[in-house]
Structure 1
Amino acid sequence: MAWTNYQLFLAGLMLITGSINTLSAKWADMLSAKGCHDDPEHDFSHPFLQAVGMFLGEFCCLVVFHIWLCHDRRRPEPRINPGQRFNPLLFFPPAMCDMLATSIMYVALNMTSASSFQMLRGAVIIFTGLLSVAFLGRKLAVSQWIGILITILGLVIVGLADFATGHRDDSHKLSDVITGDLLIIMAQIVASVQMVLEEKFVYKHDVHPLRAVGTEGLFGFIVLSLLLIPMYFIYVGNFSNNPRHVLEDAIDAFCQIGHKPLIILALLGNTVSIAFFNFAGISVTKEISATTRMVLDSLRTLVIWVVSLALGWEQFQGLQVLGFLVLLLGTALYNGLHRPLLARIPWCAARMDLEESSPAERERLLNDGSVQGADT
């Protein structure tokens, strides 16, 4: 079945904005400018402020939802189901998980390459699968367990590629690369807790996806903005790259933006892209399929890697290519992308359950748009 022009537009929008999201965040990390009080020029290293911008982008989804809902109510026959009434505080626990995971990942992005950052985020399926079994009572198919094992192998290969690159790459110290990779894996554990909480407590309340993403963005934006105040006084030594060596120096960030306005373009790219990425991802699932969304998300990793190479942000690593392919295979098996192929083989089709995923499972995939944040 051929795609319509609108479906092609949505797929392209998801792929482009998802790639811009990671690339713009990495671009901001690579820019340098003078800070406050005549500080010497230094890198823009402000991961928590970048996370605030990401949550602002998610919050925009809530604004868009209410504008869309008001417009829809003026029609003779409204098409949007606003969902049942719910307590917004249901979103607070997953929002806090999103805040912690996103902040950790932005810290890690300062330490490693954009492509490795995106590839290692594939670890989320390992922990989501295990937590779903432990706390949601879900039974994973044999192909999903195989997908998890293959994903672990892919993570090891990507880690080895980063280890090899760290020995001869002056842009990142080997210790920073290893630390960054480990932080990304840790962040995926928190992100998987977020997804399990969302499925257990939130999505059973029939909440519209844009409303869910936007409400989490609102909580994350408010809480993290307030946390920037104590972070300004928490000394962390060489762990931080800002001149005062505190956990986050938002004032220094604004001074750097004043000295180099180009930084604000990178930050806006991150904020705007996450809003459009969430909208496009949800729309792709509704207009085409959740499977297509998974494929496009995997292609996003490839786009980020190719663009990073073209811009000279990182060196070509054959081992990283192998790692990407293995991760792609693991993700495909876990998400059931192999089923349409096996369905064409009579013997396999007879032994497979080829029914559509349950409404609850489809709803879970439909609502899986928080940043992964970021898509983070």
Structure 2
Amino acid sequence: MAWTKKQLALAFMMVVTGSINTLSTKWADEIEAVNSAGEKAHFVHPYFQTEGMFIGEMLCMLAFYIMRCMERRQRREQVEMSPSTTQSTKFPKYIFLLPAFCDTLATSTMYLGLTLTFASSFQMLRGAVIVFTGLLSVAFLGRKIQWFQWLGIVVIIAGLIIVGVSDVLGPTNYSGYTTNGIITGDLLIIAAQVVTASQMVIEEKFVLGHDVPPLLAVGWEGVFGFTIMTILIIPFNFIDGGIFAQNPSGTLEDVPDAFYQIGTTPLLLVPILGNIISIAFFNFAGVSVTKELSATTRMVLDSVRTLVVWAVSVLIPWQKFQYLQPVGFVILIIGMMLYNDIVILPFCRSKGWIRPTETPEDTEPVIAASSSSTASARIVEADKRALTTQAVQWR
């Protein structure tokens, strides 16, 4: 069935705002501005930018209440009052504290890694979250992983290795990148996926049972995340940053220096605000795509976002073309399709090349819904769960 104009608009919004989110964060890193020491330097403030990301998440809460008010107004204007589909907002808010802490740790670590490596690698390496989520869901949620999911995990690992190798083999002296810095950045991004996977498992176990509206869930995680990051960023201004210190004070973060650089180069406000606004619209579009279409469609669109980020990074250019990187990206996509049982395996089943298999409920992937056309009930159930968890994964 062809997509409606609304669905096409939502899909376009998700790809565009998702791409802007990563590109704006990297753009801020690339801008040179006079710092508090009077020197021209790159805007390297990953923890400061993490705060902006959480502000964007909090805007999702505002969007939720605006949509709620619009729905109530529409119902009042109807002659025949139809039953309300508004989800309840009565749930214990503290359930988001631990996921928000994981979100804070994961996002700040990824943003730190992004300052050391390429934006395209940042986006591709986030695919490692599927590997860690699959393994942690077996250990802590008692899920069973099917043979095609194990195959998908192996293929994803192969893709990650190829992407990492492409970074090392690429022109390391380009735009000030170094081999050690790129390796460190890539490892930080992959390590952050362990935390993100832990966050998703925690949400699966403690949050989803409360049937929290997805946008409201993102909003509350933004509130708690912003609070936690604000508390942490104060001592970060005094803790020696060691090899990660890239500000005049030599500390993990230097907030006064960040504002000073913004003051000397107002252009920095463009990518910073772009990060905040795009994360809000991206989460809104992502949740809407999952509702209007499916969680599987959202995964496919996110792959398009990764392709856009890579293409823009090469064209600007923030990096030079390295043939292994698109190869690794394609392998990553194949692995994700295998893990989530979409496109490849359904096609093989339709041709009779492999025998159809029934997937028990407790083996449903945590990341995305299965898209088998004969399993509509499983898709609906997985989409309900994915509405909340995928808002975190694909941010």
TM-score over 0.5 for the pair: yes
- Partner Cα separation in structure 2 for residue 260 and residue 369 of structure 1: 36
Counterpart CA distance in 2 for 1:82 and 1:12 is 27
- Distance change (3 Å), C-alpha of 1:197 and 1:9: same
> How far, CA to CA, are the matches of 1:170 and 1:305 in structure 2?
16
Deviation at 1:349, TM superposition (A): 5.8
- Retained in 2: the 8 A contact 1:213–1:369? no
Task: Spell out the pairing of 1:118-197 with structure 2 (5 A cutoff).
Answer: 118-165=123-170, 167-197=172-202
Unmatched segments (≥5 aa) in structure 1? none
Aligned to 1:12: 12
* Aligned partners of 2:214 and 2:388 also within 8 Å: yes
Q: Distance in 2 between matches of 1:202 and 1:360?
A: 16
Structural mapping, 1:188-207, within 5 Å: 188-207=193-212
> Which residue identity is paired with 1:164?
L
Give the conservation status (yes or no) of the 8 Å contact 1:53–1:267.
yes
Distance in 1, Cα, partners of 2:34 & 2:290 = 44
1:341 aligns with 2:347: yes
**What is the aligned-residue RMSD (CA, Å)?**
1.6
- Alpha-carbon distance, 1:84 to partner: 5.9
1:316 aligns with 2:346: no
1:88 to 87, 93, 104: 93
CA distance in structure 1 between the partners assigned to 2:83 and 2:167 by the alignment = 52
- Checking the alignment, whether the CA contact within 8 Å between 2:175 and 2:318 is kept in structure 1 is no
Q: CA deviation at 1:88?
A: 0.3
Q: Partner of 1:242 in structure 2?
A: 247
Give the residue type in structure 1 aligned to 2:199. Answer: Q
> Secondary structure at 1:368's aligned position in 2?
helix
Deviation at 1:142, TM superposition (A): 1.2
Assess if the C-alpha contact under 8 Å between 2:168 and 2:182 holds in 1.
yes
Q: Which residue identity is paired with 1:30?
A: E
State whether structure 2 residue 383 is matched by structure 1 residue 362: yes
Distance 1:6 1:277 in 2: 15
Instruction: In structure 2, give the amino acid aligned to 1:368.
Output: T
**Contact 1:26 1:109 survives alignment (8 Å):** yes
Answer whether contact 2:163 2:324 (CA < 8 A) is retained. yes
Give CA-to-partner distance per residue, 1:110-158, whole Å, 9 cap, x none: 0000001100000000000001111111112211110000000011111
* Partner secondary structure for residue 45 of structure 1: coil
Distance 1:109 1:78, change over 3 A: farther
Give the TM-score, by structure 1 length: 0.95
How far has the Cα of 1:81 moved from its partner?
A: 2.4
Q: Deviations over 1:162-188 (max 9, x none)?
A: 111154535211100000010011000
The reply to whether residue 42 of structure 1 matches residue 48 of structure 2 is no
Number of matched pairs: 373
The equivalent of 1:294 in structure 2 is 299
Distance 2:233 2:270 in 1: 21
Q: Does structure 2 retain, via aligned residues, the 8 Å contact 1:126–1:151?
A: yes
TM-score by length of 2: 0.91
In the TM superposition, residue 371 of structure 1 has moved relative to its aligned partner by 4.2
After superposition, give the CA deviation of every residue in 1:48-68 in whole Å (9 maximum; x if it has no partner). 010000000000001111122
Q: Is the 8 A contact 2:286 2:391 kept in 1?
A: no
CA distance in 2: counterparts of 1:219 and 1:108, whole angstroms: 23
Q: Is the 8 A contact 1:56 1:221 kept in 2?
A: yes
Aligned counterparts of 2:353 and 2:160: Cα–Cα separation in 1: 33
Judge conservation of contact 2:287–2:391 (CA < 8 Å) in 1: no
Query: 1:8-27 deviations in whole A, cap 9, x for unaligned?
Result: 00000000000000000000
Query: Sequence identity, in percent?
Result: 52
- Residues in 1 aligned to 2:45 and 2:172: alpha-carbon distance in whole angstroms: 26
- Residue 343 (structure 1) shift: 4.3
Match of 2:58 in 1: 59
Separation of aligned partners in 1, 2:358 and 2:157: 25
Q: Where do residues 100-115 of structure 1 align in structure 2 (5 Å cutoff)?
A: 100-115=105-120
What's the CA shift string for 1:68-113, capped at 9, x where partnerless? 2123223234654223621000011001000000000000000000
CA 328–358 in structure 1, closer or farther in 2 if over 3 Å, else same:
closer
**Structure 2 unaligned blocks of 5 or more:** 77-81, 360-373
Q: How many Å separate the matches in 2 of 1:93 and 1:351? A: 37
Which amino acid is the alignment partner of residue 332 of structure 2? Answer: L
